[in-house]
Amino acid sequence: MVDILHRVGVVSSPDDVYAALTTIDGLAGWWTEDTDGDSDVGGVIKFRFEPGGFDMKVLEAKPAERVLWEVVDGPEEWIGTRISFDLKQEDAFTIILFRHEGWKEPVEFMYHCSTKWATFLMSLKKLAETGKGDPAPHDVQISNWH
Amino acid sequence: MVDILHRVGVVSSPDDVYAALTTIDGLAGWWTEDTDGDSDVGGVIKFRFEPGGFDMKVLEAKPAERVLWEVVDGPEEWIGTRISFDLKQEDAFTIILFRHEGWKEPVEFMYHCSTKWATFLMSLKKLAETGKGDPAPHDVQISNWH
């Protein structure tokens, strides 16, 4: 089992970070502007990017504490994987513990997604701290795979 | 076994990226300004940060292709882990496949290091592309753990 793990601290409340993870507007503010769908538990959120996208089923949404998605459509390597965000408060920070788990193999695309997730989590931090993130198509280019 | 994996593409030659990984000046330009020691195979490089640091033994250094270090001193969770950089050319990019492997457990510190490595690899990219990276103590703060 190989997982992508990240930890980012946001100078903002857990409620604000939770909103950025559970509302279409919030998600569009840091991951991709082309976000649509139903962000309630049981709903499916559609994230679209230039080269394609991901459909996520919302499995858990516990206010100010935890969000869990399952990938129900997208690149083959992603389907069936799960993405979670666990929130806690430490000092002036809301700490996000991020996991993207269930990858079958550590393929090169996984290396890419690991780095890309880090930059998007920094975009989420920026959104919550300044009001403006760097969602696609304004995201940081990290390589030839974008 | 849990590993940290990243993929970054640098618009620069494999030789230049290799130099940034195998010379004290290069390493000081993207990871930490306080870098010292012997960067030849068999040597030990000492990387120091505000809160402490890491000593890396250079196990492999294959020009323009691969660098492998073993952590011989530093935080307990890091000792004995290995860090590798594999380089290849794709389009206008030198692709870095990064691995930090051998973590015993996916402790919270590993989540932090995963994100932090991503930001330092972006600093390496910036150094190679613009001549100026963001090494400690000028590195991006990602959380209360810095």
| Residue A95 belongs to a domain | yes
Local confidence band at B1 (pLDDT 50, 70, 90 cut-offs): low
- Kindly state whether residue A144 falls inside one of the protein's structural domains: no
Q: Which residue of B has its CA nearest to A95?
A: B143
User: Is residue B22 helix, strand or coil?
Assistant: helix
CB count, 10 Å around CB of A141? 12
Q: Could you tell me the CATH number of the domain that includes residue B7?
A: 3.30.530.20
CA dihedral B26, A142, B65, B29 (to 10 degrees): 0
**What's the average model confidence in pLDDT over A21-45?**
98
Question: Mean pLDDT across chain A, nearest whole number?
Answer: 97
| pLDDT tens track for B17-40 | 999 999 999 999 999 999 999 999
A146 found inside a domain: no
User: What pLDDT sits at residue A2?
Assistant: 81
Strands (DSSP E) found in B11-122: 34-37, 44-49, 52-62, 66-73, 82-90, 93-103
**Encoded amino acid at B110, one letter:** M
Whether B2 has a pLDDT exceeding 90, the answer reads: no
Say how many C-beta atoms besides its own lie within 10 A of residue B87's C-beta.
Answer: 21
Residue carrying structure tokens 């380089």: B87
Mutate to test the interface with A, among B7, B88, B97, B103 (most CBs of A within 10 A): B7
Whether A144 and B7 lie within 8 Å, measured CB to CB:
no
Cβ distance of B5 and A4 shorter than 8 Å: yes
Cα separations (Å) of A92 from A46, A75, A85, A96, B117?
32, 37, 18, 13, 23
CA distance A40 to chain B (A): 27
Is residue A1 predicted with pLDDT exceeding 70?
no
Closest residue in chain B to residue A2, using alpha carbons only:
B2
| Residue A39 falls inside a structural domain | yes
* pLDDT tens digits, one per residue of A97-139: 999 999 999 999 999 999 999 999 999 999 999 999 999 999 9
Task: Reply yes or no on whether the pLDDT at A90 is more than 70.
Answer: yes
Residue A142 and residue B119: Cβ atoms within 8 Å?
Answer: no
Q: In terms of residue numbers, what domain contains A63? A: 2-130
Cβ neighbours around B76 below 10 Å, total: 8
Instruction: Tell me the per-residue pLDDT of B82-92, one tens digit each, with 9 for 90 and over.
Output: 999 999 999 99
* Angstroms from B142 CA to nearest CA on chain A: 6
A77 assigned to some structural domain: yes
DSSP assignment letter at A1: -
**Which of A77, A86, A94 has the alpha carbon at shortest distance from A145?**
A77
Q: How many CA atoms lie within 13 A of B81 on its CB side?
A: 22
Q: Which chain A residues are Cβ-neighbours of B114 within 8 angstroms? A: 4-7, 114, 118
Tell whether A116 is covered by a domain: yes
In a domain, B109, yes or no: yes
Q: Which among A91, A111, A122 has the least Cβ separation from residue B142?
A: A122
Best probe of the B interface among A4, A93, A142, by most B CBs < 10 A, is A142
Tell me the ipTM for this assembly.
0.96
Q: Looking at the domain assignment, is residue B113 inside a domain? A: yes
A143 and B6: CB-CB below 8 Å?
Answer: no
CB A33 within 8 A of CB A22: no
